[in-house]
């Protein structure tokens, strides 16, 4: 009888983890649509339902300048997407109430091109709320010194696709999760070990503390701050959990910090500090699909780090240096990174019609097959890599918190 009871406890976790497993199958980017004399501008969609992925140009009113997030249904069809300011549906029409979910002086000045924060928004399914979703996002404000832009609030908006005859509606926006000087960029999330909820870790600026946040059927819950490791830099180019949910990495320009992550408690441990000393002014990072390797960009350089090495920082290997090719006078350095469902890693560059590609990221360099400008795009992309959690990560079976009902 005990075996039967455990089976019924675990099954709900598996079902939750299978929902929206194709949530990241469409990528949206591009800007300045409706310029018939300049077809190199406009929207680009990448459809990972096809193999190889299909790309096409389209005109739409939502533009992208670094901030891009969205979600697809179980069939890989677009439900909605956002640029951190506006919210649009699968027909590229603005969702009711989604004209501007983030009205601030800074975002208002960028409304035409979209949010300017890399990983400035993320879309999460609202657990146990049918066809409801949470957009988690931030804005930028000027600190008293007048020099540094940083978010003062982490916010959310609820999107209910049951409303408006199935076309969807933003039920609320500007709802505050955290109010503090939090570090710019790098909003990311990891599925909780129970396979249903979502965990976020939000850095407090110029301290070594993080705000753990849990999204459950009850909404957002802010837990006690955790202070660990070195001081958080104000600017973070990329931050991601590893695909297996066991690590968290944060690119802070001249260094990368990696933590072990406990999906049960939502807490960090064991900081590893990886120095970046090449002088790059912008960069990013992404884990390989197996979580074995961490890739780090630093403007003109791409590195691979072995997460299974005894001495992780010393395993840093140069994969490639930029060939400094320019397209119409624009350089193509290495910017922000993102994992795709085809197990490749794509790297944004300056405003050109290309992405760099790591074709075999689970292989050690140079076998990882990095190709500069390996993915042509139908339109110019402004540094944008869409931001998604790992929708295919399931419950941490055997972790002790992989069920939704306690053992009796």
CA distances to 58, 126, 135, 332 from 71, in Å: 19, 12, 10, 29
User: Would you say residue 265 lies in a domain?
Assistant: yes
Computed over its alpha carbons, how large is the radius of gyration of the chain? Answer: 20
Question: Which residues constitute the domain of residue 214?
Answer: 2-381
Q: Is residue 334 part of a domain?
A: yes
The pLDDT tens digits for 379-401 are 999 899 999 999 999 999 988 88
Q: Quick check: bond before 319 cis, omega within 30? A: no
What does the pLDDT look like over 324-378, one tens digit per residue? 999 999 999 999 999 999 999 999 999 999 999 999 999 999 999 999 999 999 9
Residue 389 lies in a domain: no
pTM of the model: 0.94
Q: Which of 53-62, 167-176, 238-247, 398-407 has the lowest mean pLDDT?
A: 398-407
- Flag whether 391 is in a domain: no
Q: Does residue 143 belong to any structural domain of this protein?
A: yes
| 164: in domain | yes
DSSP string, 237-280: SEEEE-TTSSEEEEE-SSEEEEEEEETTTTEEEEEEEEE--S--
pLDDT tens by residue, 255-292: 999 999 999 999 999 999 999 999 888 999 999 999 99
- Whether cis (ω within 30° of 0) applies to the bond prior to 131 is no
- Contact in structure between 69 and 42 (CB atoms under 8 Å): no
Residue 108: predicted pLDDT: 81
74, pLDDT greater than 90: yes
Q: What is the pLDDT of residue 8?
A: 41
Q: Exposed, middle or buried by CB within 10 Å (0-12, 13-18, 19+), for 115?
A: buried
Cβ-proximal residues to 112 (8 Å cutoff; 6+ apart), any chain: 63
In the sheet with 121-125, reading across from the earlier edge strand, the strands are 121-125, 132-138, 153-160, 169-179
| Total structural domains within the chain | 1
Supply the pLDDT for residue 4: 39
Does 365 fall in a domain?
yes
User: Which tops the pLDDT comparison, 170 or 3?
Assistant: 170
Tell me the C-alpha distance between 294 and 243, whole Å. Answer: 11
Query: Could you tell me if residue 246 is inside a domain?
Result: yes
Q: What is the pLDDT of residue 9?
A: 45
Structure tokens of 359?
A: 């074709």
Span between the terminal Cα atoms of the chain, in Å? 12
Residue 31 has pLDDT above 50, yes or no: yes
CATH assignment at residue 360: 2.130.10.10
Mean pLDDT of 117-131: 96
Cα 49 from Cα 58, distance rounded (Å):
18
């Amino acid at each position: 009888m005990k075996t039967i009871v455990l089976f019924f406890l675990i099954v709900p976790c598996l079902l939750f983890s299978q929902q929206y497993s194709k949530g990241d199958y469409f990528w949206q980017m591009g800007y300045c649509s409706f310029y018939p004399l300049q077809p190199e501008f406009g929207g680009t969609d990448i459809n990972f339902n096809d193999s190889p992925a299909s790309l096409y140009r389209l005109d739409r009113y939502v533009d992208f300048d670094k901030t891009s997030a969205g979600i697809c249904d179980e069939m890989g069809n677009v439900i909605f997407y956002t640029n951190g300011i506006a919210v649009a549906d699968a027909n590229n029409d603005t969702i009711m109430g989604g004209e501007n979910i983030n009205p601030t002086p800074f975002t208002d000045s960028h409304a035409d091109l979209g949010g300017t924060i890399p990983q400035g928004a993320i879309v999460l399914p609202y657990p146990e709320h049918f066809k409801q979703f949470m957009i988690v996002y931030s804005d930028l404000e000027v600190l008293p010194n007048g020099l540094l832009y940083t978010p003062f609030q982490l916010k959310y908006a609820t999107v209910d696709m049951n409303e408006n005859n199935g076309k969807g509606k933003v039920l609320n926006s500007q709802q505050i999760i955290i109010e503090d000087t939090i570090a710019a960029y790098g909003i990311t999330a990891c599925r909780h070990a129970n396979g249903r909820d979502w965990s976020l870790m939000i850095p407090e600026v110029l301290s070594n503390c993080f705000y753990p946040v849990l999204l459950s059927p009850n909404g957002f819950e802010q837990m006690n701050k955790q202070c660990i490791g070195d001081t958080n830099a104000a600017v973070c180019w990329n931050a991601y959990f590893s695909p297996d949910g066991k690590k968290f990495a944060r690119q802070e320009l001249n260094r990368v910090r990696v933590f072990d992550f406990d999906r049960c408690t939502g807490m960090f441990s064991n900081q590893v500090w990886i120095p970046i000393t090449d002088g790059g002014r912008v960069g990013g990072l992404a884990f390989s699909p197996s979580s074995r390797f961490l890739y780090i960009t630093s403007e003109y350089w791409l590195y691979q780090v072995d997460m299974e090495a005894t001495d992780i920082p010393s395993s840093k290997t140069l994969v490639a240096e930029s060939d400094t090719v320019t397209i119409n006078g624009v350089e193509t350095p290495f910017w922000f990174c993102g994992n795709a469902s085809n197990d490749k890693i794509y790297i944004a560059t300056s405003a050109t019609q290309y992405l760099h590609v790591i074709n075999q990221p689970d292989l050690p360099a140079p076998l990882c097959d990095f190709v500069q400008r390996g993915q042509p795009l139908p339109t110019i992309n402004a540094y944008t890599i869409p931001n998604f959690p790992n929708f295919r990560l399931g419950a941490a079976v055997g972790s002790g918190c992989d069920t939704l009902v306690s053992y009796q």
